[in-house]
Structure 1
Amino acid sequence: MPSLNVTFTDEELKGVRAAAAAEGKSLKQYLHDLGIREMERQKFVAGASLWADRLRAEFDAANPEEIPPSARHEGSAAA
């Protein structure tokens, strides 16, 4: 099975070990799960974006008073 060597500073490794311990996992399992979780998060975000894009026209038609952030004159800081 493929493996990977990852380099951390002493302080980084201390933090990663603490995070793994907080989840009750070995360092190896924690880092494995972290990578898998990130891949799943990216797939979720991509799917949610596609879903939102498909419904955007319907939402805009039903809520014409809603102004998209990119079209606001005050900018995103006013939101």
Structure 2
Amino acid sequence: MPSLNVSFTDEELEGVRAAAAAEGKSLKQYLHDLGVREMQRKQFVAGAAAWADRLRAEFDTAFPDEMPPGRRGKGAAAA
């Protein structure tokens, strides 16, 4: 299995060790899980943004007063 060496300052390593201990994990498991969680978070955010983009026109039609001024039509600005 591939592995990775990561360098930390003494202060950084102390903080990471404390965080790992607080979660009841070894340093190795904590750092592994941290990287995987960040990857999953980015995938979730990208999916949520794509979902919002697909529904934006429907939302704007249903709630025209909630649209940012830059996306409002000329008639909406006069209202």
> How far does residue 67 in structure 1 lie from its aligned partner after superposition?
3.0
2:53 is the counterpart of 1:60: no
Structure 1 gaps, min length 5: 72-79
- Same amino acid, percent of matched pairs: 80
Moved over 2 A (4+): none
- For normalisation by structure 1, the TM-score amounts to 0.85
Distance 1:17 1:32 in 2: 13
Structure 2 gaps, min length 5: 71-79
- For normalisation by structure 2, the TM-score amounts to 0.85
Higher helix content, 1 or 2: 2
Aligned partner letter, 1:17: R
- Find the counterpart in structure 1 of residue 73 from structure 2: none
Instruction: Report how many residues are paired.
Output: 70
